[in-house]
């Protein structure tokens, strides 16, 4: 087994939450003190492997407010300087999304990590952890093409999506599907050579949704297709695969194949039934099927549906969320449906720091879609704007704990909030209404 140089902070998983966590920690601790582990050959997780839009930056409604800031803003700015981004409304009223080129985002993540001095290790998979007698995580075992690797660190951030580190370390969690039905999985796909002008002249999204409702043979009769920042290209959220435990490799392998099958059924529907798509073709499938939830860790606090819908306030808030509860599921009689519940008044609720600290943790934080929340609250707070804000909070906290040799529980929350505000994090809903016109960010 090869011993890797130790780090002050190790981040497991380089999705949007893990990338921001690594950046936040490295900017406080300095070069080569933070190690970021990733199973794929590129960074970004769902932000680059599955989707092309950040949601959660803005509250929904007629007076949108920007509730995400700091390092996530730097990512958006870098994308805008690259080849443009655009703002667009969500099809179902979930707020304005920031649409980007996911291939460019891969490069942006690379450049930001290099600039901050983050050590990045791709093509590794966490397979075990070592713990001290008091439960503190002290080392991780990784599988790679180079054989097994071992790395030690005093502080750890689980941004794996499936709470792999917390699972191996023995922290308690709820498995999606144990209480409420788990959210469905989606294989996104992208099509090129779409005549978007003709599509819009023939009725656009309203026409497409009507034809989907009456279509025969589609896996589901709902879904969305939106134009990308690349001319003549669209991206979709249409495929749906239900009743899958995505931590079971046999079930997940079958879901991957089913997702690809459904994608090409949709391709034929678009080409045969939707004006403007006659010459369109699939040019890319998600690197892996999009998973919405698996393990959700029990933290020192658990965000609830009531917190979301009553616009809860917490003294230890580290981020805001105005996104609706968006529960992708199968109905009681087997039909596909998405259940929506909106945060009232276009407001944003607080998310407390305790949701990022597993119960009884001495040196571990959890961020991203495996953070501490019930099924419904998770369905609101899993947007990438919020997961990046979680990473910013946990990365900053981990660096502070490393400097002070303290635990997540004993960290001074007031000092953490001051650090987050200095980064540009938004901890109070602003009064200013944001410009969410298509090119609002560019202007």
At 409, the pLDDT band (50, 70, 90 cuts) reads: very high
DSSP assignment letter at 17? H
Half-sphere exposure of residue 148: CA atoms within 13 angstroms, side-chain side: 8
What does the alpha-carbon distance between residue 387 and residue 401 come to, in Å, rounded to a whole number? 21
Mean pLDDT of 217-243: 92
Of 21, 22, 18, 14, whose CA–CA distance to 41 is shortest?
A: 14
**Residue 443 confidence (pLDDT):** 45
Mean pLDDT of 381-407: 98
At 340, the pLDDT band (50, 70, 90 cuts) reads: confident
* Confidence check: pLDDT of 318 > 90: yes
Q: Residue 397: which residues within 8 A CB-CB, separation 6 or more?
A: 353, 356, 365, 408, 411, 416
Q: Are 376 and 308 in contact (CB under 8 A)?
A: yes
* Confidence check: pLDDT of 91 > 70: no
**Residue 330 confidence (pLDDT):** 63
Q: pLDDT exceeding 90 applies to what percent of the chain?
A: 88
What does the alpha-carbon distance between residue 35 and residue 146 come to, in Å, rounded to a whole number? 17
Q: Are 42 and 178 in contact (CB under 8 A)?
A: no
**Residue 333 confidence (pLDDT):** 55
* Confidence check: pLDDT of 138 > 70: yes
205-239 core/surface letters (b: 16 or more CB in 10 A; e: else): eebbbebbeeeeebbbebbbbbbbbbebbbbbbbb
Instruction: Convert the pLDDT of each residue in 51-75 to its tens digit.
Output: 999 999 999 998 999 999 999 999 9
**Residue 336 confidence (pLDDT):** 58
Sign of the CA dihedral 256, 262, 267, 270?
Answer: negative
What does the alpha-carbon distance between residue 284 and residue 357 come to, in Å, rounded to a whole number? 37
Instruction: Convert the pLDDT of each residue in 293-313 to its tens digit.
Output: 999 999 999 999 999 999 999
- Name the CATH code of domain 2-178+294-423 (choices 3.40.630.30, 3.30.2390.10, 3.50.50.60, 3.90.1640.10): 3.50.50.60
Q: Where are the domains of the chain?
A: 2-178+294-423, 189-285
Mean pLDDT of 104-120: 98
* Confidence check: pLDDT of 332 > 90: no
Instruction: Convert the pLDDT of each residue in 24-54 to its tens digit.
Output: 999 999 999 999 999 999 999 999 999 999 9
**Residue 7 confidence (pLDDT):** 98
pTM of the model: 0.96
* H helix or E strand, kind and range, residue 250: helix 249-273
Q: Are 352 and 69 in contact (CB under 8 A)?
A: no
At 334, the pLDDT band (50, 70, 90 cuts) reads: low
* Confidence check: pLDDT of 208 > 70: yes
Angle in degrees, 0-180, between the axes of helices 384-404 and 71-83, rounded to the nearest 10: 130
Q: Are 53 and 75 in contact (CB under 8 A)?
A: no
Instruction: Convert the pLDDT of each residue in 342-393 to its tens digit.
Output: 999 999 999 999 999 999 999 999 999 999 999 999 999 999 999 999 999 9
**Residue 338 confidence (pLDDT):** 77
């Amino acid at each position: 087994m090869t011993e890797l140089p130790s780090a002050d902070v190790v981040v497991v998983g380089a999705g949007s939450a893990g990338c921001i966590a690594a950046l936040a920690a490295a900017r406080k601790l300095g070069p080569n003190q933070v190690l970021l582990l990733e199973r794929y050959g590129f960074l970004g997780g769902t932000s680059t492997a599955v989707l092309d839009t950040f949601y959660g930056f803005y509250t929904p409604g007629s007076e949108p407010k920007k509730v995400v800031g700091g390092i996530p803003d730097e990512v958006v700015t870098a994308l805008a300087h690259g080849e443009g981004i655009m703002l667009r409304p969500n099809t179902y009223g979930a707020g304005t999304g920031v649409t980007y080129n996911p291939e460019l985002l891969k490069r942006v993540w690379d450049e930001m990590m290099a600039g901050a001095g983050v050590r990045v290790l791709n093509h590794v998979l966490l397979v075990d952890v070592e713990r001290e007698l008091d439960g503190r995580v002290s080392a991780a075992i990784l599988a790679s093409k180079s054989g097994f690797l071992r790395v030690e660190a005093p502080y750890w951030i689980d941004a794996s999506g499936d709470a792999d580190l917390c699972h191996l370390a023995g922290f308690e969690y709820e498995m999606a599907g144990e209480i409420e039905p788990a959210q469905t999985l989606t294989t996104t796909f992208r099509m090129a050579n779409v005549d978007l002008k003709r599509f819009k002249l023939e009725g656009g999204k309203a026409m497409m949704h009507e034809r989907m409702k009456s279509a025969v043979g589609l896996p589901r009769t709902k879904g969305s297709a939106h134009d990308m920042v690349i001319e003549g290209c669209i991206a979709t959220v249409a495929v749906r695969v239900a009743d899958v435990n995505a931590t079971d490799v046999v079930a997940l392998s079958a879901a991957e194949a089913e997702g690809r099958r459904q994608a090409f059924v949709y391709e034929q529907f678009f080409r045969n039934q939707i004006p403007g798509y006659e010459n369109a073709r699939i040019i890319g499938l998600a690197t892996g099927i999009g998973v919405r939830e698996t393990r959700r860790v029990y933290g020192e606090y658990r965000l609830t549906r009531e917190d979301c819908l009553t616009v809860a306030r917490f003294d230890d808030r580290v981020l805001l969320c105005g996104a609706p509860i968006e529960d992708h599921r199968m109905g009681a009689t087997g039909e596909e449906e998405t259940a929506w519940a909106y945060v009232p008044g276009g407001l944003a609720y607080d998310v407390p720091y305790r949701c990022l600290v597993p119960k009884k943790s001495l040196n571990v934080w959890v961020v991203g879609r495996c953070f501490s929340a019930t099924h419904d609250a998770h369905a609101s707070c899993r947007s990438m704007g919020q997961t990046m804000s979680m990473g910013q909070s946990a990365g900053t906290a981990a660096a502070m704990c490393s400097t002070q040799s303290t635990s997540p529980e004993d960290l001074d929350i007031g000092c953490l909030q001051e650090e987050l505000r200095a980064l540009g994090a938004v901890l109070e809903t602003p009064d200013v209404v944001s410009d969410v016109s298509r090119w609002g960010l560019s202007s």
